[in-house]
Amino acid sequence: MKCKLDLNVEITVTPEEQRAINWVETVINRAAEAEELPPVEVSVTIVDNEQIHHMNKEYRKVDRPTDVLSFPLWEPDEEWVIEEEEERVPLGDIVISLPKAREQAREYGHSIEREVGFLAVHGFLHLLGYDHETKEEEEEMFAKQEAILNLVGLHR
């Protein structure tokens, strides 16, 4: 099932970074298919470290930049109601720091495409209520992320 994405790019990017951003729709669509979701809508915004630092401080009370933030529009125990056949369920917003993705790709020794794809899937799964607060939750979430990234060819 295809997701409708509202993809906003707010910073200047290199061609390599643009190729990485182009993976966002692919990995989120694959994640939606893997989760067998009805049609959904997700907004993805690419920002710099200053912007995500501000958001992290404002919304999570954490005074530092982070790599990805998710803002779900529903609670995990809520039931989705789709009234019309063409209507999409609005899942929420994902914000990704491109500079942080760049830094982490270098640190982990893989491509920027893989890191941006990872952050998009990670943020998407958070919108669905997945978390990594416990070891069991982390294992489940990270296994799903890796499976989705492997399906689209974004290997470590």
pTM score, whole prediction: 0.86
What is the per-residue pLDDT across 36-76, written as a single tens digit (0 to 9) for each?
988 888 999 888 899 999 999 999 999 999 999 999 987 77
**Integer Cα distance of 155 and 37 in angstroms:** 24
- pLDDT-derived band of residue 78, with 50, 70 and 90 as boundaries? confident
Task: Work out the percent of the chain whose per-residue pLDDT is above 70.
Answer: 87
**Element (DSSP H or E) covering residue 109:** none
Q: In whole angstroms, how far apart are CA 89 and each of 1, 3, 39?
A: 12, 9, 6
Domains present along the chain, CATH in parentheses: 4-76+86-151 (3.40.390.30)
Helix (H), strand (E) at residue 91: strand 89-97
**In this structure, what DSSP letter does residue 76 have?**
T
Average pLDDT for 135-149: 95
The answer to whether the annotation marks 122 as part of a ligand binding site is yes
pLDDT at 122 over 60: yes
CA distances from 148 to 35, 89, 109, 154 (A): 10, 21, 19, 9
Mean pLDDT value of segment 110-131 = 94
